[in-house]
Structure 1
Amino acid sequence: MTERVVPGRADGLIALDAADALWIGLTAGGGVPTAAGALTRSPARAGAGYVLLGSRVVATVRADGGRWGVEEREVRRAAEELNAVGTDRRDLVRVGPFRATPEPERDGETSLCWRRRVAAQLREPSARPHHVAGIDWRRVLVEHTRDGSRRTWWLPRTVVRLLDAAEHAETRWLRAAGTRGTVTAAARPPAAPPRPAGDADGRRSTSPEDSADPPRPYGKELEGQLYSVLSRRPGITGKVAGWMCAVCHGTPAAVLDHCHEHGYVRAPVCQSCNTRERPDHLYADDVRVANRYTRLFQTDAEDWLRHWHRCTGCRARTVLPLPHLAAWTAFIACRSLRPTHRAPRGREPCGLLRVSWTGSQNAPRSCLFTVTVDSCPAGEHRVLARIPYREAAERFRGWLADTAPAVAAAAGPDRLDGLPARPRPVVADTSGEGLALF
């Protein structure tokens, strides 16, 4: 039985073009820019039985005359959720280009695959731009050019998380609807979202999205397991997707984060947290200390320290992997050494902070950190400090006890049984090509 589209009725169905206008009007003042044609222009396909608005799946219903409509209140809910998302345009995540890697085959017409869509659009600038989940990503895209030739593309972290959540919500919808991403317009659409008791017309329906189990919080199910073994188990990808991110606790997990020095799994995390945690290498033994370390070592320090010490080796030795310890040394231990220069709003830190090292953590006596400042306006302050690895590790242990006492209490040398006698060498950097590295 079809239903009647009644424009303007809050509890009824509205036509897709009216929903497009409503979406733009409701999100005009939000932090995430939205696009026209969110429900009528590719990649939206109302005939598949749903559309994506932000991170929300909104069911479509065939109405009188064969037209498709959506419930107005669902559009309003999606807009309200999107407007609640704040955007820091300085906190960016690289979204391409990356080396081509084999991925599972997907139906591009019925699955968001937003990274592929963005990459394809940027490779063909003359093509008509497409929105993703009703979001105008081009208005927040940042392009960096390295050495005058190589370009990289970046999006605000909040937008990346939003699109990852949209992709996950769509996957759950399709699975619950008994599909494999191949729903067509001729197929019978899923039922409309459920109405709570007490609706004006008293109708009730069920939604496939509501019947799927939500991701569960991560406990310690994978603690002490080696990534090299666990990552080869059949079905591990689907199992990871069943957890919430163990760091932010607000986004479905996508990858298994692991320690590259000791080889132990830390926890399942979302793509956003996975890239935030990744050291910003310039070379194999050189780290740029960017602004994001403010959150890693200050704002959200306790959460990140707890996550890093999920590695059995790091926890037992009360230390961080070499690139992380190097970044901590430059950002925290040498903070008082960093010079400042005059700026319109007072004094600001000088240049760009960088830390490199010689030797290896496998031979702590010979390993040395060198903290420098690049791009100083006056050409000064090139080298700030040279700190031996052992001294840096001792400073870190003291700082850890003050900053995160619970994390420090769980660490210690009494848990060295079964650990490798020598940590593995640091995995060579790949300039951001493999997002699952860190």
Structure 2
Amino acid sequence: MLISPQLARDILADLTKDCGLPIHAGELIPGKSEFLVHGHVFVGDIAVRGYKDKGRWKYDDRDVRRAGQALAAVTVDAADVVNAWIPDRRYFEDRGSLNDWNQTDWRRTLNNWIYAAAQRARWRAIGADTPVAADPTDDFDIFDPEITVALDNDVWSSRYEIGPHGLPGELTFDDLVSFYGERTIAGTRPLRLLTRSGSHWVLPRGYADMLDRWQERDRALAEQAQICTGCRRQGSRCAWRATAANGYVTLCPACSGEAFQAYKGHLRGVAYNSARRTHRADDYLCCLCRESRASIWDHCHEHGHIRGPVCASCNTFEGKGVTFLRRDGSVQHLLECRGCREARTLPRRFHLDVVLEHLEDIERHGRCRRRPHAHRSEYVHGVHHITLHCHGHASTSKWTKEVSVAEAADVVRAFVDRTLSSASGS
């Protein structure tokens, strides 16, 4: 019998209430893309398959009960421990290929948390209040000149040296737990079992062995999910995954092209509410990437007109603002809405993104030739207050531009006119 994620969570929590592992049954409540990689959710080293039923993800209650019973039988001997190999910089510095980096690796994840926590602790020590990236190797957008100078004067390598608490810099275990104590690996909270023994951080052997099994099984499922179900070619992680009636399928662009129709724009100007009742979006290829099966009809929420069939990935990417607008064909896709095209505009949620891109094109810090970075600041009484930052001048790098709603509309109109003119001339 298929059951809801909420019921599956309650069943698992009841079966594992006396388990020696720090199980987090809430992992069975999936996010939007939880099943994208291989269609399963792991709790411990047990994979529970997800099924899509009437547009909602569900589980087979037999799978959930088998997982709960298996995990309840696991014992953890706190006296029998192994080295967790943390902190170790090689786990996040040696990225290799992106595909390798995306592979599950519980030791790398723990090390990422530790070095990210050390960085957050360092920011806190210098009084910074800027959000820190989840990946400690990511760059930061730094707009406060005082913080910029403080970080410039700081030596990165010194932050990674092991400090008095056996962690990078001045990081304490309490700080690590406060930052990442609720994070999970394989549906468990590893920091609850991590302890210090002499010069090493250790985990119970049984728990570490279970994480190794999870890692191996997760990678095997992910590799299997990369194989096209049509021609058996192997792609990269999630590249060919497309939604289907009962979950996800893997189809390469060639097989997708043979299996689904190319959208020819025949529904341009048709109202979304009427078209979605008579035409199935998943009969078509995505009109943006032209590689994956479409899953929904993308439409303008302001005018209600169909723009075209898109896959889940491209639909999500549409929310990326400036990044989406820079993608070839994206603006033309938005203008498939007859209302936007006739009014020479874009949906209002893109207006500020167009303005930010425009300001980065025309604004400069004094005589500096470097392109500044414009970012949202605040919106007060019909005026956008936009902050620009030039990375070439740390001490005097920030200034503000005010753009009214009317001025923003004019910038958008000029942007649309250029796009339409370019399309007609090509």
Per the normalisation by structure 2, the TM-score is 0.40
After TM superposition, the score normalised by the length of structure 1 is: 0.39
